[in-house]
């Protein structure tokens, strides 16, 4: 039997390794820039063509390499970073495995030019698919120029899996940002297809963050700093009011290395508890410094995940430091127990001795005595009756009545009209009525009325099965002696005779609403949980999701406007300047034509800002920043090539941004507008994102719920 286990050739092994190390152009950018940082470069330039698919070039002024090192760098597991296993737990460099350059050379055309600072001549090396095509002496400036062309040229299947240029460029920018944020002292430049995307001079950390993410980022930042035996924390966190829907601006760095940690992220969210709106994420740039032997970096191919010796302690320290910073800068309420216990008093009073206050007591005073302490002074007594016109200025009628604090003063009370004299016959009639009323009360047993009344109520409540309630007829003669009370009660102007009065039958139908009357949509609407609109229909009721319904309404409006021609734009009296990160401005430039069709007019687009002179009719000036932020977010994963798909995505994003949200209180008119407009749409059943907008409930379905 022949042997079946064989040793793979180097170029095959390198291609397999490249599958882990090099997943897309961004992976190559990361490895090459990290090598330049490890070479102690102070200026690094990145040049790209077609999002790195055609060319990735990194130029640095670092140490450079001699001829032997340049050739050895492309061998597997060849590195200058470590020499023994113990060095893995004392790492101070980005790379250490020695696999990156060998993997890159296996799947691309590599051109390397390098020279030492103390040398006049350098080395020029050309490699294609792990094969060294040429190596010669060349004149080149100190440092290294590393060019990677035609990525995945020998693995067509891998190249076909690459995304669009916009998506790949977005991933490259992500890697570029992570490295530039951790090394603010290094100058970085990024050029894509001849256009400068980033130009970041050497600066401090705060300025570097502002240069990368735009000028408006500066007002969002709150510094954070904490020094302990376990960890040193520094960096910046975002103010809660600037929280975003996405997690784009969230960075953890451990020993100058970008990492991802859901555990530490949860610690940050715990510190922001109660300060963020639902569905938003805080911004943070947090740098942790720990002893190298307390972490393990070699657990992930891309080195973005590490293990800590004591994660729980790190969790608590991070959460406490963030809370402290939020409270210290008046971003969140905080109880500060470390303040000076002394009160804040003027300086001149601090050294004075406390004096015992002197209290003078009149030992002769008796509050219950009627005698005046000073006979010459008279104490005012509001309850004392005084002769008329001698009441210290009070009106005479005030004293005659006696003081009553709950009775209106004559100053405030209107003058009463004089009472008319009562006629003698009316007076007699009143006396007769009063005597009859007294006689009737004495002859009636009220207990029987209570029992009979209770029985009558029960009879009314438990109505007949015919859904009709009959109330017993009663004549006035059946009420006993009460009839006598009203005999002869024909006052002035009264001609009512109740002797033959009967109570008419009251008939109540069993239906709460008249089914013969058709109920139209939005005739009676109400809101549930500030999220759903309920409207009755003939067959039952319809429950509408107000947010999704409004999205559908706005979406069809936007699409309808651009179907005929460009949408109408409302011109701004004063152009609006909005600041963005450089790569975000590049993205807006690429979709500028589609945005113009929707009604956005850009007066100018700079490197880190845009100037808006016109907005769509449905967009208010105060909403422009939010809407454009959402548009940028929706296109970060890729820009469709066709103009129609771009416009459709813009319409969806605008509809989602401008639609009413859950929790919004709507009055009845607004509810009716949404209901009527929704059922006037071409596709009212679903939102622009293919989610149902409403459900119907028939009366039969509701009745089934009550069947036991």
pLDDT digit string (tens) for 557-570?
888 877 766 667 88
Residue in 219, 210, 222, 306 with CA at minimum distance from that of residue 271: 222
For residue 72, give the DSSP letter.
Answer: H
Residues in the chain: 708
User: What distance in Å separates the CA atoms of residue 622 and residue 625, rounded to the nearest whole number?
Assistant: 7
Residue 582's pLDDT is: 80
**Percent of the chain, pLDDT > 70?**
69
Class of domain 526-697: alpha beta
Task: Please state the separation of Cα 81 from the chain's center in Å.
Answer: 44
For residue 676, give the DSSP letter.
Answer: H
pLDDT of 377 > 60? The answer is no
For the four alpha carbons of 591, 595, 597 and 601, in that order, the dihedral sign comes to: negative
Q: Which CATH architecture has domain 212-328?
A: 2-Layer Sandwich (3.30)
pLDDT of 578 > 60? The answer is yes
Region 356-365: mean pLDDT is 72
Distances (CA, A) of 158 to 51, 129, 307, 626: 16, 15, 31, 38
For residue 371, give the DSSP letter.
Answer: S
User: What distance in Å separates the CA atoms of residue 506 and residue 504, rounded to the nearest whole number?
Assistant: 6
pLDDT of 699 > 60? The answer is yes
pLDDT of 402 > 90? The answer is no
Residue 341's pLDDT is: 39
**Which residues in the chain are classed under CATH 3.30.230.10?**
212-328
Residue in 224, 222, 196, 201 with CA at minimum distance from that of residue 211: 201
Residue 65's pLDDT is: 92
For residue 260, give the DSSP letter.
Answer: -
Region 380-403: mean pLDDT is 49
Residue 511's pLDDT is: 42
Q: How sure is the predictor about 19, in pLDDT bands with cuts at 50, 70 and 90?
A: low
Pairing of the two strands 131-138 and 532-537: unpaired
Provide φ and ψ at 377, rounded to 5°. -100, 140
**Percent of the chain, pLDDT > 90?**
32
Q: How sure is the predictor about 508, in pLDDT bands with cuts at 50, 70 and 90?
A: very low
Which carries the bigger pLDDT value, residue 438 or residue 355? Answer: 355
Q: Which of 113-117, 163-167, 552-556, 646-650 has the lowest mean pLDDT?
A: 163-167
Torsion of CA 206, 210, 211, 213, to 10 degrees: 130
Q: How sure is the predictor about 463, in pLDDT bands with cuts at 50, 70 and 90?
A: very low
* Mean model confidence pLDDT for the chain: 77
User: What distance in Å separates the CA atoms of residue 298 and residue 96, rounded to the nearest whole number?
Assistant: 9
Structure tokens at 98: 């020695």
**Which residues in the chain are classed under CATH 3.30.565.10?**
10-200
Strand order in the sheet with 532-537: 526-528, 532-537, 540-545, 694-698
For residue 202, give the DSSP letter.
Answer: S
3-state secondary structure 385-421: CCCCCCCCCCCHHHHHHCCCCCCCCCCCCCCCCCCCC
- Could you report the per-residue pLDDT of 581-628, keeping only the tens digit for each? 887 888 888 888 888 888 899 988 887 889 999 998 888 888 898 899
Q: Which of 97-101, 367-371, 450-454, 594-598 has the lowest mean pLDDT?
A: 450-454
424: number of Cβ within 10 Å: 8
Q: How sure is the predictor about 276, in pLDDT bands with cuts at 50, 70 and 90?
A: confident
pLDDT of 95 > 90? The answer is no
Region 181-201: mean pLDDT is 93
Q: How sure is the predictor about 264, in pLDDT bands with cuts at 50, 70 and 90?
A: very high
Q: Which of 442-451, 554-563, 696-705 has the lowest mean pLDDT?
A: 442-451
Region 164-184: mean pLDDT is 91
Residue with tokens 């009413």: 660
Structure tokens at 685: 């059943």
Q: The domain 10-200 is classified under which CATH number: 3.40.50.720, 3.40.50.1100, 1.10.3080.10, 3.30.565.10?
A: 3.30.565.10
Q: How sure is the predictor about 497, in pLDDT bands with cuts at 50, 70 and 90?
A: low
């Amino acid at each position: 039997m022949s042997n079946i286990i064989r040793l793979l050739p180097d170029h095959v092994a390198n291609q397999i390794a490249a599958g882990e190390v090099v997943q897309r152009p961004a992976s190559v950018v990361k490895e090459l820039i990290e090598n330049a940082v490890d070479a102690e470069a102070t200026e690094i330039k990145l040049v790209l063509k077609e999002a790195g698919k055609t060319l990735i070039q990194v130029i640095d002024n670092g140490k450079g390499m001699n001829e032997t090192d340049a050739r050895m760098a492309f061998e597997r597991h060849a590195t200058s970073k470590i020499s023994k296993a113990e060095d893995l737990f004392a790492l101070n460099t980005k790379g250490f495995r020695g696999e990156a350059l060998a993997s890159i050379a296996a799947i691309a055309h590599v051109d390397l030019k390098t020279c030492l600072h103390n040398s006049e001549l350098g080395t020029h090396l050309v490699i294609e698919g792990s094969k060294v095509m040429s190596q010669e002496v060349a004149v080149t400036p100190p440092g290294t120029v590393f060019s990677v062309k035609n990525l995945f040229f020998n693995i067509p299947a891998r190249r076909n899996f690459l995304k669009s240029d916009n998506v790949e460029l977005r991933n490259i920018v992500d890697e570029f940002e992570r490295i530039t944020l951790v090394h603010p002292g290094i100058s970085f430049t990024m050029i894509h297809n001849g256009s400068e995307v980033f130009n970041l001079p050497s600066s401090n950390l705060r300025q570097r963050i502002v240069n990368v993410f735009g000028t408006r980022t500066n007002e969002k930042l709150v510094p954070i700093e904490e020094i302990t035996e376990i960890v040193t924390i520094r960096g910046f966190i975002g103010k809660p009011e600037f929280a975003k829907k996405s997690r784009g601006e969230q960075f953890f760095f451990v020993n100058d290395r970008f990492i991802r940690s859901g555990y530490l992220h949860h610690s940050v969210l715990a510190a922001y508890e109660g300060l963020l709106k639902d569905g938003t994420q805080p911004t943070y740039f947090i740098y942790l410094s720990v002893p190298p032997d307390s972490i393990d970096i070699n657990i992930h191919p891309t080195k973005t995940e590490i293990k800590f010796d004591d994660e729980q302690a790190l969790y608590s320290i991070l959460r406490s430091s963030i809370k402290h910073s939020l409270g210290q800068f008046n971003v969140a309420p905080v109880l500060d127990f470390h303040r000076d216990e002394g009160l804040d008093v003027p300086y001149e009073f601090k050294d004075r001795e406390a004096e015992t206050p002197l209290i003078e007591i009149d030992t002769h005073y008796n509050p219950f005595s009627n005698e005046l302490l000073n006979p010459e002074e008279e104490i005012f007594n509001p309850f004392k009756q005084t002769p008329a016109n001698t009441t210290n200025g009070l009106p005479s009628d005030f004293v005659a009545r006696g003081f009553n604090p709950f009775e209106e003063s004559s100053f405030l009370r209107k003058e009463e009209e004089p009472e008319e004299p009562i006629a003698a016959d009316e007076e007699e009639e009143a006396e007769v009525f009063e005597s009859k009323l007294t006689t009737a009360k004495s002859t009636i047993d009220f207990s029987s009325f209570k029992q009979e009344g209770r029985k009558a109520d029960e009879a009314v409540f438990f109505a007949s099965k015919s859904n009709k309630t009959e109330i017993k007829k009663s004549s006035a003669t059946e009420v006993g002696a009460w009839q006598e009370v009203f005999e002869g009660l024909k006052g002035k102007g009264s001609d009512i005779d109740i002797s033959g009065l009967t109570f008419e039958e009251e008939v109540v139908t069993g239906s709460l609403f008249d089914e013969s009357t058709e109920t139209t949509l939005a005739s009676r609407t109400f809101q549930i949980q500030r999220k759903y609109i309920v409207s009755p229909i003939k067959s039952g009721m319809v429950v509408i999701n107000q947010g999704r319904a409004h999205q559908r309404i706005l979406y069809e409006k936007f699409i309808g406007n651009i179907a005929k021609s460009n949408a109408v734009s409302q011109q701004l009296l004063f152009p609006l300047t909005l600041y963005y990160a450089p790569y975000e401005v590049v993205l807006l430039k690429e979709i500028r034509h589609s945005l113009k069709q929707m009604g956005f007019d850009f007066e100018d687009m700079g490197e880190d800002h845009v100037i808006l002179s016109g907005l769509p009719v449905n967009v208010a000036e105060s909403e422009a920043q939010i809407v454009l932020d959402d548009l940028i977010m929706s296109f970060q994963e890729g820009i469709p090539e066709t103009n129609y798909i771009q416009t459709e995505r813009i319409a969806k994003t605008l509809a989602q941004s401008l639609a009413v949200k859950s929790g919004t209180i709507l009055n009845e008119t607004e509810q009716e507008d949404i209901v009527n407009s929704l059922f006037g749409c071409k596709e009212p059943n679903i939102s622009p994102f293919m989610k149902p907008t409403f459900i119907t409930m028939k009366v039969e379905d509701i009745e089934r719920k009550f069947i036991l």
